[in-house]
Amino acid sequence: MTTNVIKDKNSGTDYDLEEEIDSHLRHIFYIKPKESATCNPYIVEFFGVLSLNDLRAPERKLWVIYYCKQPELDKTVDEIHQKYGKKNMFDLYRTPVFSGAALRAAVKKHFSELKWFTTGNLLEAPPKSHFNDERVVKTITDLHHLEQQRLYNYVMVKNMWFARYK
């Protein structure tokens, strides 16, 4: 649809036909109304993991997880480097995601069920754990794949539901 704005001469306010149609369609199909804050769909959100080496206790296995939008990526990584030290860490995993907060919650939940210490954005493997960087990346990749599969299944179910009631 085009975004034509028609000026109502009687009231002096703008009338947006597309917004009116959108609100009616959302009401008909039971879709939640739009939030007032609009987001740019072209800004990608990233999820990442940094491997952290603790110099005071080298037997500890630590990882830092983060998520942010693309313009804030360098700033976020720099803040993490400032907090934990640039020499002690390296970028292990970074991928664009649909929702970084959801993936972060899934990762924290998975590792806390494995009896890991999860405080804030820090993941710590228990002592004498068999996890290393490769296993952590594989586990997070599997969790990301499950998240994508859930989103795909949701979209396909909604598509079939709308196709059935056309």
Residue 5: pLDDT over 50: no
Q: Where are the domains of the chain?
A: 1-38, 45-154
Q: How far apart are CA 103 and CA 98, in angstroms?
A: 9
pLDDT (tens digit, 9 = 90+) per residue, 34-89?
Answer: 766 566 667 789 999 999 887 788 788 899 999 999 899 999 999 998 888 888 88
Work out whether the CA dihedral 32, 38, 39, 40 comes out positive or negative.
positive
Residue at 157: amino acid letter: V
pLDDT in tens, 93-152: 999 988 888 889 999 999 999 999 988 888 999 888 888 889 999 999 999 999 999 989
Global pTM value: 0.69
Q: Which of 72, 116, 117, 65 is nearest to 91 (CA)?
A: 65
**Beta carbons of 91 and 50 less than 8 angstroms apart:** yes
Which of 8, 2, 7, 40 is CA-nearest to residue 21?
A: 2
